[in-house]
Copies of this chain bind each other. A is one copy, B any other.
Amino acid sequence: MIDLIKNLAITNRRAKSSVIRELLKLTNKPGVISFAGGLPSPECFPIDQLADITSKVIKEKGHLAFQYGETEGTAELKEEIIKLLKTDEAITIKKENIIITSSSQQGLDLVTKTFIDAADFVITEAPTYIGGLQVFRCYGANIISVPSDDDGLCVSALEKLLNNLISDEEHYKMLYVVPDFQNPKGTTLPFERREQIVKLAAKYNFIILEDSPYRHLRYRGNAPSMLYKLDSLSNTISLFSFSKTLVPGFRLGYIVANAEIIKKFSKLKQSLDLCTSPFIQYITAEFLKQGYFHPHLNKIKSIYEKKLNVMLEALKKYMPEEVTWTSPEGGLFLWATLPEKIDTTEMFNDAIKENVAYVIGSAFHADGGGKNSMRLNFSYPSEVEIDVGIKRLAEVIKKKI
């Protein structure tokens, strides 16, 4: 065999496997209670409804659902998305503003491939979603992090950075932000910060990439408007996903943006996969059309809210006072910060020995920061496991203090 590995293109050499994927292998040990994954709970999959709908779709629309489809997505699903954004977000769009993607991860790849050349600046929150960092790295982006607090991205720090970059004549292009129940911190960006970001985008001429996979999963409080809604200048591109609200196994998401931009995504998507499975799209459109979506959301929100409350109570009950954590209003994750001297990577093996797992905080930092922090998922483990697992984790931490 010729040494193909030595022939790798720069894109592949830049690509890094997700640390989470490696960690997850360790957490498969029997008896481990894992807060490491980001999986929805299977009890939240609407199995019976999907069985009925799938059978209906195959019988009535099999000849269309099993055929090739349009690159931009099926008209049926786009119509349902338009209605959904109208009722839930007061956002008015047309079909031309939507492209259906094979997961919102594909959305991230499409947007980045469309706009980011090597050495272009992409600004992210610190910490931020690992899958975002992976994509930006693939395309050789210069990733700059802006700190965040309990209200998400610090806009004053962002403005200072933009000022510095502009005086250095640097070429920055995009801000990547997860405004609602952020992965990994669980924080939500308040309305004022959203307005400020939209203004900064207009002033400094950059794209806002708004990633909203968790937005429908709000358990308390009121939702500030989406950045897309606030941005009258179409600088915002928004990514959506059905993975957390319906099922991840469909690998279905969509992008909402200015129609001219959608055309550019479509051109690239042709060479990526021609189109997203029409079969999956017809099933999802029918699920929405039948009115199953909102009752289903209410059901799973009540399940996840209880789990979140159990985790918050367990943290309060078991954790030493030196440990702090965020208090999310929705989503799947919260973020714990330990005393500075504790390195959660070093502590990871101790935790596995005590049969509990988390994701190390540094994985979410482009610069390897956040060593004394961790992400805790509350959607997948049961309520009992959450209580027992947090107790175990507290014991591990206490030994380090």
Give A residues with C-beta under 8 Å from B. Answer: 1-2, 4-5, 7-12, 15-18, 21, 39-40, 42, 45, 47, 50-51, 54-55, 58-59, 62-69, 71, 102-103, 105-106, 108-109, 113-117, 120, 131, 134-135, 138-139, 173, 201-202, 205-207, 233-235, 243, 247-251, 258, 260-261, 264, 266-268, 270-280
| Shortest CB distance A99–B (Å) | 14
Chain B residues within an 8 Å CB radius of A50: 58, 62, 66
Bound-state CA distance A91–B296 (Å) is: 47
Bound-state CA distance A207–B8 (Å) is: 11
24 contacts across the A-B interface (CB closer than 8 A)? A1-B233, A4-B261, A5-B261, A9-B115, A9-B116, A17-B266, A39-B67, A39-B68, A47-B62, A50-B62, A51-B58, A54-B58, A65-B249, A66-B247, A66-B248, A102-B277, A103-B274, A134-B271, A135-B271, A138-B271, A249-B277, A251-B273, A251-B276, A277-B280
Question: A55 touches which one: B54, B139, B250, B271 (CB < 8 A)?
Answer: B54
Chain B residues within an 8 Å CB radius of A16: 267
| Shortest CB distance A396–B (Å) | 27
On whether A277 and B274 interact (CB within 8 A), knowing A9-B139, A51-B55, A66-B45, the answer reads no
Q: Nearest B residue to A134 by beta-carbon distance?
A: B271
| Shortest CB distance A267–B (Å) | 5
Query: Is A17 in contact with B250, judged by CB distance below 8 angstroms?
Result: no
Most B CB atoms within 10 A — which of A42, A120, A135, A274? Answer: A274
Bound-state CA distance A103–B243 (Å) is: 20
Chain B residues within an 8 Å CB radius of A54: 54-55, 58
Query: Is A275 in contact with B247, judged by CB distance below 8 angstroms?
Result: no
Bound-state CA distance A63–B44 (Å) is: 9
Query: Is A105 in contact with B248, judged by CB distance below 8 angstroms?
Result: no
List the 6 closest A-B pairs by CB distance, nearest first: A66-B247, A66-B249, A42-B63, A1-B234, A134-B271, A47-B62
